[in-house]
Structure 1
């Protein structure tokens, strides 16, 4: 093993983490030449279940897994970490209003942001998964001012993968044949799945998705709403939220962030907006297309935005502005 990484996963006794931890520990994310120390954080009442997760990881006998630390202590969890995968969050319960969810999570991610500030490496890369992921990510970044805002991202790769899969299924091709879809905005039902710049491999040629699909009504209608509402559809069918597909998307996000995106391809990540790209307001975590190399990610700039797309992109930005303003009220009240 030539490298070592300390990787924190919060909500580590939950169902997403249960689908995620094996892939991280097995070298499927950071490479087979990297040894991983896993730090598993969950609340005190989940420590018995977390202990069971540790036993299973031990029984996997994985050569890349150097050490497992299970804890409910925030300082122990965040000290000197290289990656933070913040999965744990307060779920929305029946009868709970959105402002109640924002208030509960503002407290959680304020604490975790401060823990990143006080204990983590300044180079730490942070992926927020717990919903509302964009706003939770912004709260954590705000509470860790000495860590670059570029080091904070939220998960929209699940939506990105869903969009690819819908196109691939429609055209009866492999998902690997579909490239450069975009998820704009919030990881919510206002997100905008955009395939206007995407391509699909037909033989040896990459052709524009709209040209191959030949159904603008579907692309501007059912395709978008299916991706937007996919999470709700899974809950309705399973009576549980996405776990397997979310874990896969987390792995995809982390792998690309660590190794870079393939040449000529981009992915979707919720990233900090400084107000200079695509008319997205400053101080939001907003999903955009990015290319990644050894120097980090860069926004794919210069893509044409038509009037219909502008309306959708602004709508999801406005939702994020409302969430941000509500969350910041809760932060100021708790100071």
Structure 2
């Protein structure tokens, strides 16, 4: 299936979900929209058009799917556990065009470039690792990782209900 066809099909699915939410869900329900970044706004629009009793603030888009894939290589390179990597941001679509931002990320509270002295690795290899992670998983397992998305949903919900650590942030499309 061509990507454009997939995006169109997904848009229709989100419209149907919006109709169902509008019909049976409490106005207080919280919904996280998960999907390909380039189509999230389109999906949210389809969902909201069919679900007028819910506000945009009740429909955040999942952005945490890129956080751990960005944290993990930095943590491994620095020899620390991934939770020591903070202030992670990934710009762009969740694909080979995304750009992990190591310039603002921190390891144990320090700028990444102060902890990881191999700046060539940061500028070249790190970005490539993050960009190609999805393809590596598909090649290894023969399918995309639903577990990765599921963990990202858990992380997002945890971030929505638990105060963010001082000096760190939580990303979400709103």
TM class by shorter-chain length? 0.7 to 0.9
Structure-1 residue corresponding to 2:33: 128
* Residue of structure 2 aligned with 1:230, choices 130, 133, 144: 133
Note the C-alpha offset of 1:126: 1.2
Residues 278-293 of structure 1 mapped to structure 2, 5 A cutoff? none
Note the C-alpha offset of 1:198: 1.5
| Length, aligned pairs only | 172
Unmatched tracts of structure 1, length 5 or more: 1-95, 273-335
8 Å CA contact retained: 2:95, 2:134: no
Residues 15-164 of structure 1 mapped to structure 2, 5 A cutoff? 96-131=1-36, 134=40, 135-164=42-71
Note the C-alpha offset of 1:266: 0.7
Quote the Cα distance in structure 1 between the aligned partners of 2:70 and 2:138: 18
The higher relative CO (CA closer than 8 Å, separation ≥ 6) is in: 2
Quote the Cα distance in structure 2 between the aligned partners of 1:108 and 1:244: 21
RMSD: 2.0
Post-superposition CA distance 1:128-162 (Å, at most 9, x none): 22446624334323432332212212222121111
Post-superposition CA distance 1:92-113 (Å, at most 9, x none): xxxx111110121111111111
TM-score, normalised via structure 2 length = 0.87
Asked whether 1:188 is paired with 2:92, we answer no
Structure-1 residue corresponding to 2:143: 240
Structure-1 residue corresponding to 2:110: 207
Secondary structure, in 3 states, of the residue corresponding to 2:20? helix
Note the C-alpha offset of 1:125: 1.6
Q: 1:151 to 1:192 in 2, by over 3 A?
A: farther
Quote the Cα distance in structure 1 between the aligned partners of 2:131 and 2:52: 32
Note the C-alpha offset of 1:164: 0.5
Quote the Cα distance in structure 2 between the aligned partners of 1:174 and 1:263: 18
Quote the Cα distance in structure 2 between the aligned partners of 1:263 and 1:142: 37
Higher strand share: 1
Q: Which has the greater radius of gyration?
A: 1
TM-score, normalised via structure 1 length = 0.48
Quote the Cα distance in structure 1 between the aligned partners of 2:31 and 2:144: 22
Post-superposition CA distance 1:235-280 (Å, at most 9, x none): 10111211333222211111111223223221222x13xxxxxxxx
Unmatched tracts of structure 2, length 5 or more: none
Asked whether 1:255 is paired with 2:162, we answer no
Asked whether 1:177 is paired with 2:84, we answer yes
